[in-house]
Chains A and B, each alone.
Chain A
Amino acid sequence: AQRVTQPEKLLSVFKGAPVELKCNYSYSGSPELFWYVQYSRQRLQLLLRHISRESIKGFTADLNKGETSFHLKKPFAQEEDSAMYYCALRGLGGGADGLTFGKGTHLIIQP
């Protein structure tokens, strides 16, 4: 069974401080990992996925298969980063194509 764990329900950091949102996963095959973000009163939207290796809005995430982690990082937090962040997994190569989401981390950036 596949599982995504986001250990922090709430994370509060000051503007300009580094941010790290933790995500650990459990999956027996080759996973595809994503970060989704939901800003206040907006719909869920894709932030980044590990395959593209992009940096979106200053955020990066590296897939660490040894530690089964996909932590989201940003060196300098901005107030507009305040949102709900969800880590998600999709199995490659078979089975249901749905995403398995973590419970989410509410990131608050304090001025």
Chain B
Amino acid sequence: DAGVTQSPTHLIKTRGQHVTLRCSPISGHKSVSWYQQVLGQGPQFIFQYYEKEERGRGNFPDRFSARQFPNYSSELNVNALLLGDSALYLCASSQQGDYGYTFGSGTRLTVV
């Protein structure tokens, strides 16, 4: 089992651009959550999806959106990037959106 895989591992974007981050959950896991981790802070909850429906949303602006596909993989989209969006974006999967979260290694986004 490859675990939770995220792509890309690193990327650099310019302010105002748009970015799409991808996550493949562990086989059999139907729930995917997204977190933002700014340097020196703990991860902050962005979204949770279960069976392709949004189950929860953290305190992030509408520039952040996500979706889950029939194969349970997920995309996180961020529009109109700001310098403050620079962070490590973590994806976590679980079987039913309950406690058993397994995290990926993350995507390091740098906005310049």
Contact = CB atoms under 8 A, between A and B. Distances in A.
Interface in A27-42: 32, 34
Interface of B: 3, 33, 35, 40-48, 50, 55-58, 90, 97-106
13 contacts: A34-B99, A43-B103, A44-B43, A46-B100, A46-B102, A96-B48, A96-B58, A97-B33, A97-B48, A98-B47, A98-B58, A101-B43, A103-B40
Contacts, number: 61
Interface of A: 4, 6, 32, 34, 43-46, 49, 51, 86, 88, 90, 95-104
B97 to A, nearest CB: 5
Contacts of B106: 43
Given A43-B105, A43-B106, A44-B90, A98 B45 contact: yes
Contact of B43 (A6, A86, A90, A97): A86
B56 A104 contact: no
